[in-house]
């Protein structure tokens, strides 16, 4: 038989327990979760940029926001991740600018035109300028908001045979991202372009499903592609970079103060990502040279001239698809050929 005293005590304990369990969630509101999915390794310019954004977003929002970064196509492959963003299954991505065509936005393919950016400075006139903003506006009616452009770098061509001059590409099966400009580029070299998700490239190179590909050194190195490519040419014939994008409904629905903190975090993460991209690519190239698996070829002046001659027609060929006016605007900014 329990005494009145111990019954009162037990009730008191129960009341305290109830107060704790019910008060818990009310005191600490659930954080807003941003799932940030991407397809490259954590040790790349994009991978590091994503981690920097996470760190700053969580710091500036005082815990109101949690950013979960999923690298290496862990959650979604190229095409699926854009669908997942539109459906709201993830909130943030940074796809390569070459991957917006399947979404129905062709304009970003201007970034894929061969030799359109002589260097990072020329590129930044576009990505930090009016043209960059104009391009982001095209995403709005797809339910997407563009926040920033992040650099990777200039691409090198690799294969399992020497690829020094355009004739060397004749009949080679070359993996490309899902861009019509890149398809035209490979066709112009006499190669057979094959669109393939990034996560599948290493195995396709290893098994001979494709002979070669193009990538900035950081991607080639972190995916170990140099272990399955015997030759590469430092062609720097095109640029690969990213648009950091969010689900528009999610972004517009955020409390103003939270969005302001995230804008600040994105601004600083962008400065960081764009300040390390060049060095990261140089370091990756040095590491691949050191590994000694791939023979890296530096172009001669004559070889470069042959590449430029072979690839220049792609600009005119793609003018109808991308828009001659947009191409002209970009060239006016960069002073390209
Ligand atoms: C590729 O598919 O080659 C790249 O777009 C991967 C990336 O995100 O850098």
- Cα of 96 vs centre of ligand 1, distance in Å, is 6
Q: Which domain holds residue 95?
A: 29-334
User: How are beta strands 212-215 and 92-93 bridged, if at all?
Assistant: unpaired
User: For residues 124-148, b (16+ Cβ closer than 10 Å) or e, as one string?
Assistant: bbbbeeebbeebbebbeebebbbbb
In a domain, 301, yes or no: yes
Q: Average pLDDT in the 52-70 region?
A: 97
If we measure between CA atoms, which residue out of 284, 304, 309 comes closest to residue 215? 284
Tokens standing for residue 252: 């517009």
> What is the per-residue pLDDT for 28?
61
What is the best residue among 152, 197, 201, 280 to mutate for testing ligand 1's pocket, by most ligand atoms within 8 Å of CB?
152
User: In the structure, which protein residues have their CB atom closer than 6 angstroms to any atom of ligand 1?
Assistant: 39-40, 96, 152, 177, 198, 215, 219, 240
Cβ proximity of 101 and 180 under 8 Å: yes
In a domain, 22, yes or no: no
Residue 15: is its pLDDT beyond 70? no
What is the best residue among 47, 102, 177, 195 to mutate for testing ligand 1's pocket, by most ligand atoms within 8 Å of CB?
177
If we measure between CA atoms, which residue out of 291, 321, 168, 335 comes closest to residue 235? 168
- Cα of 255 vs centre of ligand 1, distance in Å, is 33
Tokens standing for residue 98: 């070459």
In a domain, 24, yes or no: no
In a domain, 68, yes or no: yes
What is the best residue among 215, 217, 238, 281 to mutate for testing ligand 1's pocket, by most ligand atoms within 8 Å of CB?
215
- Cα of 162 vs centre of ligand 1, distance in Å, is 23
Q: How many CB atoms lie within 10 A of CB 24?
A: 9
- Cα of 46 vs centre of ligand 1, distance in Å, is 10
Q: Average pLDDT in the 13-28 region?
A: 43
CATH number of the structural domain spanning residue 312:
3.40.190.170
In a domain, 94, yes or no: yes
Tell me: the pLDDT tens digits for 121-155?
999 999 999 999 999 999 999 999 999 999 999 99
In a domain, 8, yes or no: no
Dihedral pair phi/psi, residue 227, rounded to 5°: -75, -15
The residue whose CA has the least distance to atom 2 of ligand 1 is 198
> What is the per-residue pLDDT for 252?
98
Cβ proximity of 42 and 219 under 8 Å: no
Q: Considering its fold, how many domains does the chain have in total? A: 1
Average pLDDT over the chain reads: 93
Tell me: the pLDDT tens digits for 88-102?
999 999 999 999 999
Contacts 24+ apart (CB under 8 A), 272-277: 272/48, 272/49, 272/52, 273/45, 273/46, 273/48, 273/49, 273/52, 273/150, 273/151, 274/124, 274/150, 274/151, 276/45, 276/48, 277/45, 277/120, 277/150, 277/151, 277/152, 277/153, 277/218
Tell me: the pLDDT tens digits for 283-337?
999 999 999 999 999 999 999 999 999 999 999 999 999 999 999 999 999 876 5
Tell me: the pLDDT tens digits for 148-171?
999 999 999 999 999 999 999 999
Residue 27: is its pLDDT beyond 90? no
Least confident window among 3-7, 179-183, 268-272, 318-322: 3-7
- Cα of 32 vs centre of ligand 1, distance in Å, is 28
Q: Cα(304)–Cα(103) distance, rounded to whole angstroms?
A: 34
In a domain, 105, yes or no: yes
In a domain, 39, yes or no: yes
Residue 13: is its pLDDT beyond 70? no
Q: Cα(159)–Cα(135) distance, rounded to whole angstroms?
A: 33
pTM: 0.91
The residue whose CA has the least distance to atom 3 of ligand 1 is 198
Please give the share of the chain, as a percent, with pLDDT higher than 90: 90
> What is the per-residue pLDDT for 336?
64
Cβ proximity of 66 and 54 under 8 Å: no
> What is the per-residue pLDDT for 17?
42
Dihedral pair phi/psi, residue 308, rounded to 5°: -60, -40
> What is the per-residue pLDDT for 335?
77
């Amino acid at each position: 038989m329990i005494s009145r005293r111990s019954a009162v005590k037990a009730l008191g304990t129960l009341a305290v327990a109830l107060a704790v369990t019910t008060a818990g969630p009310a005191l600490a509101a659930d954080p807003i979760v941003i799932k940030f999915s991407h397809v490259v390794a954590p040790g790349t310019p994009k991978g590091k940029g994503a981690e920097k954004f996470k760190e700053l977003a969580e710091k500036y929002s005082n815990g109101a926001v949690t950013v979960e970064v999923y690298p290496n196509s862990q959650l979604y492959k190229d095409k699926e991740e854009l669908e997942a963003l539109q459906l709201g299954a993830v909130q943030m991505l940074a796809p390569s600018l070459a991957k917006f065509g399947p979404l129905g936005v062709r304009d970003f393919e201007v970034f894929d035109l061969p030799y359109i950016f002589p260097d990072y400075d020329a590129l930044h006139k576009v990505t930090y300028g009016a043209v960059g903003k104009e391009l982001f506006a095209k995403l709005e009616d797809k339910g997407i908001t563009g926040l920033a452009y992040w650099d990777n770098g200039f691409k090198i061509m690799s294969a399992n045979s020497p690829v020094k001059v355009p004739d060397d590409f004749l009949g080679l099966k070359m993996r490309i991202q899902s861009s019509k400009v890149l398809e035209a580029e490979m066709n112009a070299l006499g190669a057979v372009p094959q669109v393939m998700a990034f996560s599948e490239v290493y195995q396709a190179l290893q098994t001979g499903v494709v002979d070669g590909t193009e990538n900035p050194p950081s991607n080639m190195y972190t995916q170990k592609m140099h272990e399955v490519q015997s030759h590469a040419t430092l062609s720097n014939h095109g640029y690969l970079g990213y648009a950091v994008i969010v689900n528009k409904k999610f972004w517009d629905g955020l409390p103003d103060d939270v969005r302001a903190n995230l804008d600040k975090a994105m601004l600083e993460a962008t400065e960081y990502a764009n300040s390390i991209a060049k060095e990261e690519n140089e370091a990756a190239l040095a590491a691949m040279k050191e590994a000694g698996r791939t023979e890296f070829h530096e172009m001669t002046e004559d070889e470069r001239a042959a590449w430029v001659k072979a690839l220049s027609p792609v600009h005119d060929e793609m003018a109808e698809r991308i828009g001659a006016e947009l191409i002209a605007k970009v060239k006016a900014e960069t002073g390209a050929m």
